[in-house]
């Protein structure tokens, strides 16, 4: 049976050796001459996460013909370090108590160390990206992190705003999440020496995949099970971050439901979630995420088929289907 | 009169046009599509600071024969942005209330925005450094920022430790402050296409200058006048950061003075400062700073004389003489 006909290819298994190498590099990056830094960084990175970004980078590189392991593992590790650093800084930002089933780093180490640990991880990651002799990659990751900061500030300014627009919501999630996915997929294409056109396709794939991912993340924040998510449910809602399902409900609820939603801060979280469900907020959000996933798949069309491309398709499907 | 004979060359005046350009670039870097980011970043950067690092970079570049203005101004601006970002993150870290005579950014915007603002400034700065088509520069600044984070963590671990060693103190100030000065001076040499040997000399100059600078900073924290410093005096002491003068006093005080110092946390700040003075802590610290300044000057010997080199010498003298 040809590999291209395997319908249920497990992308993690296909990229296993590179993922293991990326994991090794992540922990090498945690190693510091200062013992407290090593302990803190390893604690943060050990908390896990799905390593989705390294997986996407490794698969994109393979899909574009990169035959090695080291460079895709290193760039994948770097992207994961950057992603985790933003979570660590986000924990300072949001004063949340739990993240990924462990104590948030700021609860564990205090705000001071969390800020420094995030800075450390980002700069270690940038140093790894600088190993690639490609200044465009360097410039591009700096731009992406700048966008991520801007998006986080935007999100603060929109907090508690019941009349916030979908445009604003999409602007935030694009810059906060999708741009890093876009960088990730394009960096894979870079390793495969793909043409400019193919790099753009991969960048577009990542942008749409990241958008779908964040919409689903925002749904799961409201509907997920705390033990599965590894963080408290409805954290966004409690912080006044109104995401797709809530914004949809505010627009589509009628009568008393609508009035209740407009006095959202007085309502119980469970009550709000029920109102959002009744107004079709979750279904609409899933539909929207699926649409972005479709766009991501479209961006891949025309690339030569094979297990790596199948892996990217499979990742895309799982991003929408996941329940945690 | 030959320029080389001017004894009292004003380094700021000599580098004025480049410093103005650097200032312009600093504020361009603050400009973001997100209004709140522009406001926050400009607020932070407007608070001023001496722009000592851009000055050193510009003078080092001139001393090594760089005839332009744009690249030294841009790299100088980038280093200043990085330095300021660490102060902003430090304000989150140390919960200090005032910095540079304005409200600390975390008092003004809250911790959340301070973290993001620091991240934003660092990444804008790195993006500016990436304009230089030199990956070594990129790698080196990432390493420097990693060291700075490590030093800050070290400083936290030593907090309140009356038996902390001078070795540890110097390790902290080298990584926290001197490495960035070293990068700064070497980046100037890079712009002048200086030989490897000259770059190393400039790097050594910066390392020693930065060490002298930080020792004086630590003295002024204890002896400075709040209005001149633009921040509360003895902030380090209150936070349990024991710097050169205090470490010296702990070793050299005798009898009851020594006992009082060993129960430092119970004593009044003014009382501690008196004890440090009596034990010769300030004089010893000034002597040590002067020694590092001498080493900085030694590192410059052999470079071709001229107003730029005179400027660097003059900056070195001022770093030790300054009272704020």
Question: Where do the domains of chain B lie, and which CATH numbers do they carry?
Answer: 7-321 (1.10.600.10)
Cβ–Cβ gap A146/B127 under 8 Å: yes
Ramachandran angles phi, psi of A99, nearest 5°: -145, 130
Query: How close are the terminal C-alpha atoms of chain A, in Å?
Result: 33
Residue A283 tokens read as 């279904």
Nearest CA in chain A to B111: A93
Q: Give the pLDDT score at B100.
A: 44
Give me the residue from A32, A93, A157 closest to B36, CB to CB: A157
CB within 8 Å of A206: residues ≥ 6 apart: A56, A60, A178, A181, A182, A183, A184, A185, A186, A296
Nearest CA in chain B to A38: B150
The arithmetic mean of pLDDT across residues A311-318, rounded, is 96
Q: Give the pLDDT score at A239.
A: 84
Name the most confidently modeled range: A132-146, B223-237, B259-273.
A132-146
User: Rg (Cα) of chain B, in Å, rounded?
Assistant: 20
d(CA A218, CA A234): 9
Give me the residue from A112, A127, A143 closest to B142, CB to CB: A127
**Helix (H) or strand (E) run with residue B233 in it:** none
- Going by pLDDT thresholds of 50, 70 and 90, the confidence category of residue A110 is confident
pLDDT at A5 over 80: no
d(CA A193, CA A199): 9
The arithmetic mean of pLDDT across residues A85-99, rounded, is 68
**Residue with the two structure tokens 């300054």:** B322
Residues from A contacting B (CB-CB < 8 Å) are 32-34, 36-37, 40, 89, 92-94, 111-113, 115-120, 122-124, 126-127, 130-131, 133, 135, 138-139, 142-143, 145-146, 148-150, 152-154, 156-157
**Helix (H) or strand (E) run with residue B242 in it:** none
pLDDT at B78 over 90: yes
- Going by pLDDT thresholds of 50, 70 and 90, the confidence category of residue A191 is very high
d(CA A144, CA B123): 9
Q: Considering only A163-167, B87-91, B199-203, which range has the smallest mean pLDDT?
A: B87-91
pTM here is 0.93
Residues from B contacting A (CB-CB < 8 Å) are 32-34, 36-37, 40, 89, 92-94, 111-113, 115-120, 122-124, 126-127, 130-131, 133, 135, 138-139, 142-143, 145-146, 148-150, 152-154, 156-157
Cβ–Cβ gap B115/A92 under 8 Å: yes
Residue B132 tokens read as 């230089």
| pLDDT single digits (tens) A159-180 | 889 889 999 999 999 999 999 9
Q: Which of B173, B182, B178, B171 is nearest to B204 (CA)?
A: B182
- Going by pLDDT thresholds of 50, 70 and 90, the confidence category of residue B96 is very low
Complex-level ipTM beyond the 0.90 threshold? yes
**Residue with the two structure tokens 């462990």:** A102
Cβ–Cβ gap B89/A145 under 8 Å: no
Q: Give the pLDDT score at A9.
A: 79
The overall average pLDDT reported for chain B is: 90
Q: Testing the interface with B: which of A42, A91, A94, A116 to mutate, by most B Cβ within 10 A?
A: A116
Ramachandran angles phi, psi of B98, nearest 5°: -135, 145
Cβ–Cβ gap B120/A89 under 8 Å: no
Give me the residue from B33, B118, B150 closest to A34, CB to CB: B150
Burial of B216 per CB tally in 10 Å (0-12, 13-18, 19+): buried
pLDDT at B106 over 60: no
Q: Give the pLDDT score at B2.
A: 41
Query: A-chain residues within 8 Å CB-CB of B28?
Result: none
Q: Give the pLDDT score at A3.
A: 43
Q: Testing the interface with B: which of A84, A89, A91, A119 to mutate, by most B Cβ within 10 A?
A: A119
Helix (H, G, I), strand (E, B) or coil at B102: strand
Contact A123, B149 (CB under 8 A): yes
Q: Give the pLDDT score at A220.
A: 94
Q: Testing the interface with B: which of A112, A151, A155, A179 to mutate, by most B Cβ within 10 A?
A: A112
Closest Cα in chain A, distance from residue B219 (Å)? 24
Cβ–Cβ gap A149/B111 under 8 Å: no
Q: Considering only A290-299, B91-100, B143-152, B172-181, which range has the smallest mean pLDDT?
A: B91-100
Nearest CA in chain A to B119: A149
- Going by pLDDT thresholds of 50, 70 and 90, the confidence category of residue A128 is very high
Residue B118: CB atoms within 10 A of its CB come to 30
Contact B92, B45 (CB under 8 A): no
- The gap from C-alpha A229 to its chain's centroid, in whole angstroms, comes to 14
Query: A-chain residues within 8 Å CB-CB of B133?
Result: 135
Closest Cα in chain A, distance from residue B33 (Å)? 8
pLDDT at A98 over 80: no
Q: Give the pLDDT score at B103.
A: 52
Q: What is the DSSP string of B137-157?
A: HHHHHHHHHHHHHHHHHHHHH
Q: What percent of chain A has pLDDT over 70?
A: 90
Q: Give the pLDDT score at A323.
A: 75
CB within 8 Å of B49: residues ≥ 6 apart: B80, B83, B84, B100
Q: Give the pLDDT score at B8.
A: 64
Query: How close are the terminal C-alpha atoms of chain B, in Å?
Result: 33
Cβ–Cβ gap B130/A126 under 8 Å: no
Cβ–Cβ gap A123/B146 under 8 Å: yes
Residue A43: CB atoms within 10 A of its CB come to 16
- Going by pLDDT thresholds of 50, 70 and 90, the confidence category of residue A99 is very low
Which whole-number Å values give the CA distances from A85 to A27, A118, A257, B122, in the listed order? 14, 4, 39, 14
Q: Give the pLDDT score at B6.
A: 44
- Going by pLDDT thresholds of 50, 70 and 90, the confidence category of residue A47 is confident
| pLDDT single digits (tens) A226-251 | 667 667 778 888 888 999 999 999 99
Q: Give the pLDDT score at A153.
A: 92
The arithmetic mean of pLDDT across residues B198-212, rounded, is 98
Contact A114, A91 (CB under 8 A): yes
Q: Give the pLDDT score at A104.
A: 56
Cβ–Cβ gap B153/A124 under 8 Å: no
Q: Testing the interface with A: which of B44, B115, B118, B133 to mutate, by most A Cβ within 10 A?
A: B115
Q: Considering only A128-142, A181-195, B108-122, B304-318, which range has the smallest mean pLDDT?
A: B108-122
pLDDT at B146 over 80: yes
Contact B285, B166 (CB under 8 A): no
The arithmetic mean of pLDDT across residues B11-34, rounded, is 96
Q: Give the pLDDT score at B21.
A: 98
**Helix (H) or strand (E) run with residue B76 in it:** helix B70-94
**Helix (H) or strand (E) run with residue A92 in it:** helix A70-94
- Going by pLDDT thresholds of 50, 70 and 90, the confidence category of residue B273 is very high
Query: B-chain residues within 8 Å CB-CB of A147?
Result: none
The arithmetic mean of pLDDT across residues A70-94, rounded, is 91
Q: Considering only A27-36, A92-101, A246-255, which range has the smallest mean pLDDT?
A: A92-101
User: Rg (Cα) of chain A, in Å, rounded?
Assistant: 20
d(CA B16, CA B22): 10
Query: A-chain residues within 8 Å CB-CB of B149?
Result: 37, 116-117, 119-120, 123
d(CA B79, CA B19): 13
Q: Give the pLDDT score at A265.
A: 73
The arithmetic mean of pLDDT across residues A258-276, rounded, is 85
Query: A-chain residues within 8 Å CB-CB of B119?
Result: 89, 118-119, 122, 145, 148-149
Length in residues, chain B: 324
Q: Testing the interface with A: which of B129, B138, B153 to mutate, by most A Cβ within 10 A?
A: B153
**Helix (H) or strand (E) run with residue B103 in it:** strand B102-103
pLDDT at A31 over 70: yes
């Amino acid at each position: 049976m040809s590999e291209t006909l395997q319908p249920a290819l497990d992308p993690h298994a296909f990229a296993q050796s590179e993922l293991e190498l990326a994991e090794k590099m992540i922990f090498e990056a945690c190693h510091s001459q200062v013992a407290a830094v090593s302990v803190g960084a390893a604690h943060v990175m050990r908390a896990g996460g799905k390593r989705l970004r390294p997986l996407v980078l490794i698969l994109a590189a393979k899909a574009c013909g990169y035959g090695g392991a080291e460079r895709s593992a290193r760039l994948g590790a770097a992207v994961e370090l950057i992603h985790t650093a933003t979570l660590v800084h986000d924990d300072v930002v949001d004063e949340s108590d739990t993240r990924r089933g462990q104590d948030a780093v700021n609860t564990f180490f205090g705000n001071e160390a969390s800020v420094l640990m995030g800075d450390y991880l980002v700069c270690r990651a940038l140093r790894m990206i600088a190993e690639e002799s490609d200044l465009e990659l360097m410039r591009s990751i700096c731009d992406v992190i700048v966008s991520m900061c801007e998006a986080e500030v935007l999100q603060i300014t929109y907090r508690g705003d019941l009349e916030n627009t979908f445009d604003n919501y999409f602007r935030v999630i694009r810059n906060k999440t999708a741009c890093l996915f876009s960088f990730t997929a394009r960096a894979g294409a870079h390793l495969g020496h793909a043409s400019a056109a193919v790099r753009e396709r991969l960048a577009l794939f990542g942008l749409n995949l990241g958008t779908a991912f964040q919409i689903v993340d925002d749904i799961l924040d409201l509907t997920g099970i705390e033990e599965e998510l590894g963080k408290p449910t409805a954290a966004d809602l409690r912080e006044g971050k109104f995401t797709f399902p809530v914004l949809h409900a505010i627009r589509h609820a009628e009568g008393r439901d609508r009035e209740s939603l407009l006095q959202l801060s007085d309502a119980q979280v469970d009550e709000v979630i029920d109102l959002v469900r009744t107004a079709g907020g979750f279904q609409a959000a899933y539909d929207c995420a699926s649409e972005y996933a479709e766009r991501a798949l479209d961006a891949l069309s025309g690339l030569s088929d094979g297990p790596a491309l199948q892996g990217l398709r499979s990742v895309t499907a799982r991003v929408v289907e996941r329940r945690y």
